[in-house]
Structure formats: C-alpha cells, structure tokens
Amino acid sequence: MWVASSSEGLLTPTAVALGKFDGVHLGHQRVIQPVLHPCDRLSVASSPQSKENQQQTNQEYIYSTVVTFDPHPQEFFTGQPRTLLTPLDEKVQQLRSLGVEQLVLLPFDKELSALTPEEFVQKILVQQLQCQRISIGQDFCFGEKRSGTAKDLQLIAAKHNIPVTIVPLQTYTGDSPTQSSCVSTNPTQDARISTSLIRQTLEQGDIENANLLLGRPYTLFGVVVQGQQLGRTIGFPTANLELPKEKFLPRQGVYAVRVFTLSETSNAASSESLGVMNIGNRPTVNGTYSSAEVHLFDWSGDLYGKKLAIELVKFLRPEQKFPSLEALKTQIQLDCVVAKEVLSAEWEQ
Ligand SMILES: Cc1cc2nc3c(=O)[nH]c(=O)nc-3n(C[C@H](O)[C@H](O)[C@H](O)COP(=O)(O)O)c2cc1C
Ligand SMILES: Nc1ncnc2c1ncn2[C@@H]1O[C@H](COP(=O)(O)OP(=O)(O)O)[C@@H](O)[C@H]1O
C-alpha cells in the first residue's frame, strides 16, 4: 500500500473513504468497503477487475484510497498527545489487509482546519486527489469548526459530479458474549460501534466485547527489551515489550494471550504460542514505570530484539502488590492454570 503525506506523489484518480478510522473497526470497514476494487470487497460477489483489466478496456484506473488526518484532529485542538487503538504502522497494516491501495495522511493544521466545506472539497478532494467517488460514515463532519455534515458533502460533491455513499452507523449485532464480572458497559444489540466504545470496553478489561467490535483481537505489537532479569529467578521469564508510545493500553492487570513472533522484514507471523501477560507497574518489585510483559507456556529461548504480536483474549485479574516474590510466584502459577483453561476453551469453540 502506498502511503502519502503530502499533496505530492499521490496516486490519482482516487475513490476515497474519508475519516479518522482509529481502530479500523467493523464500522470503519463498512465505510471503506465501497471504495475497494470488487475483488477486495468483503461481501460483494463480483468479477475481479485488475488494474491491467481496467487499462485494457481503456478505463482510467481508480486507486482505492483512505484519506485520514495526521495528527488526530483532537490532538491538534487540545494540544495533548492522544493515545490510539491503531498507531500509524498498525493502521497501515490493517488497511493493506483490507485491500486499500493508498493511504493519504492530511496534515491536520491551522490551514486545513480553516477550510470551509466547499474549499475542502475543491482543494483537497477535487484538485489534489482527483476524487471520482467518496464514502463516509453518517456522522462524518468536516471543514471549518466541523460545520459540514455528511449530507453537505453529498450536496457539494454532486456539483463536481462525485457520488457520495453515506454509510449508516453500524450497530453491534453479534451474539451477546459472556458477560464478565468486571464489565459495566456491555455493548448491547443496538450499541453503536465506535472507537470510544472500544476504548471504554478495553479500559474495563472487557476484551471479549472489544474484540467483537473490532472484528479481530486487540493486539499489542512491540520489540522485546531487557527488564530487571527477575522473571527467570522465579521460574517465569517474561519478555518485556517496548510499545509505540501512543498505543492505547487496556486495563492494568493479567491477561490470557496468544503470541506471534514477527519476521523483521515482512511482518509475517510465526506459529502461535500461548501465554500470560501482565500490564502494569509491578508494585511487588517497586516498579517505577508501566510495562507490558508476557510469559510463553512451554517455551524457552531468547526473544530479545524480536518483534512480537500479542493478541489479548481475556482479562484474568487486576495487578496486586504481593508481600514477597514467592507469593507472586504462587499467584503466577495459578494465573497460568486459569489462562490455559481459557485458551483451550476458546480453541474448542
Ligand atoms: C502472569 C503475570 C502476573 C503478574 N502479576 C503481577 C502482580 O500482580 N503484581 C506485580 O507486582 N507484578 C506482577 N507481575 C510482574 C512481575 O513482577 C514481573 O514479571 C517480575 O518482576 C519479573 O520482571 P522482569 O521481566 O523485569 O524480570 C506479573 C507477571 C506475570 C507474567
Ligand atoms: N517462556 C518464556 N517466555 C518469555 N520469555 C522467555 C521464555 N523463555 C525464555 N525467555 C527469554 O527470557 C527473557 C526474560 O527473562 P527475564 O528474567 O524476565 O528477563 P527480563 O527482565 O530482561 O525480561 C525474555 O526476553 C526471553 O528472551
């Protein structure tokens, strides 16, 4: 996938899905779907039309493009860094796997935020992107002071003969997952799928629902770095992950997880390992910073410098301060038993 962060080097003309798309969740995927080439669409049965096919029939090739803002508009307006469900690398990977050909990062600055809706369409969509078709979610707002609505975009774009698909807000329609005792915000059948709902469910440790709303497991990607080298002394070595600083972290505590080692060059995943993960400050050893660390079951070797993908499956318990390392070790042994049960039950489903 081609990533462009300025008006130069764009692949044009384009079919554009517009939005912030943090998380690339099930609702976002529905907004992106109309701009994908038929063979990449998730549920549209249609004959594939490759770039070569289109060129042979003398049609101009249209690049399926996601246009988003960088930094996140909220970060620009508040001046505060914002954590993200999908930092840029992860977003690129998710969009690529959907079949998007180009990601355009519009620098969200004073100039862009001051464009009127008409100017935004004219300068960005028509002139720069040579946009042929647009897809947006029903709640999309754009232009100065968020004054333009989805309907406005449809009306303005019509003047340029650009059709706009307005995708209705997606509600959660899956089977109601098992309710965990720590959850107060359980998405009901009519809960709207949104980035903020997913952030809330993760904050509560409700991984099952977060994963359903995302359409995939919430995953932490990071490189293994050195810790205090205490894990090995209690029989539970833990690979400590360096995460992107803007990655949104779920509730602190212990999780059952699936782990994949990624190839440095292609990001291809190795076979799966199972394990337990702790996210927190490690009060038992007077930890001074937050860490995310994983112990792999029935595995030994060297993981330093390796890139891991850790899929969260279930929150098991909050982090605690234990009176001794021995007491912590006994609890981790129990955590492993529970995590193995959870993960094997998952496997059988
Ligand atoms: C499954 C699991 C549960 C953990 N739970 C706690 C906990 O409740 N409280 C705590 O202080 N540390 C907890 N830890 C973190 C340990 O303190 C940490 O792994 C240990 O100090 C080794 O750290 P090191 O990798 O820096 O050597 C947990 C670690 C794992 C793997
Ligand atoms: N089963 C395992 N799970 C996680 N890491 C393991 C395992 N077996 C060996 N290791 C290695 O041990 C390291 C963790 O040992 P630990 O004593 O906790 O040191 P550190 O504090 O540097 O993380 C990991 O980074 C990895 O290289």
CB 174 within 8 A of CB 188: no
Interval between CA 118 and ligand 1 midpoint (Å):
55
Interval between CA 299 and ligand 2 midpoint (Å):
10
Answer whether residue 335 shows pLDDT above 90. Answer: yes
CATH topology of domain 2-167: Rossmann fold (3.40.50)
Report domain extents, the chain.
2-167, 171-208, 217-348
Looking at residue 47, what is its pLDDT? 44
Count of CB atoms situated within 10 Å of the CB of 106: 20
Cβ of 296 below 6 Å from ligand 2: yes
Estimate the crossing angle of helix 207-214 against helix 195-203, to 10 degrees: 160
**Which of 228, 233, 255, 282 most suits a substitution to test ligand 1, by most atoms within 8 Å of the C-beta?**
282
Looking at residue 70, what is its pLDDT? 86
**Which of 224, 226, 230, 238 most suits a substitution to test ligand 2, by most atoms within 8 Å of the C-beta?**
238
Query: Residue 323 is which amino acid?
Result: P
Answer whether residue 90 shows pLDDT above 70. Answer: yes
| 254 class by beta-carbon count within 10 Å (0-12 exposed, 13-18 middle, 19+ buried) | buried
Question: What's the whole-number mean pLDDT along residues 36-53?
Answer: 57
- The region of weakest confidence among 31-40, 47-56, 178-187, 201-210 is 178-187
Average pLDDT of the chain is 88
Ligand nearest to the CA of 239: 2
Q: Which residue has the higher pLDDT, 49 or 328?
A: 328
Looking at residue 223, what is its pLDDT? 96
217-348 has CATH 2.40.30.30 classification: yes
Cβ of 20 below 6 Å from ligand 2: no
C-alpha–C-alpha distance, residues 208 and 170, integer Å: 18
Token couple for 265 = 């060059």
Answer whether residue 48 shows pLDDT above 50. Answer: no
Residue 113, H or E segment: helix 110-113
Question: Does the structure's ipTM exceed the value 0.90?
Answer: yes
Q: Which residue has the higher pLDDT, 183 or 166?
A: 166
- The region of weakest confidence among 70-79, 101-110, 273-282 is 70-79
Nearest protein CA to atom 19 of ligand 2, as residue: 229
CA distances from 160 to 18, 126, 239 (A): 17, 8, 55
Interval between CA 48 and ligand 1 midpoint (Å):
51
Looking at residue 201, what is its pLDDT? 97
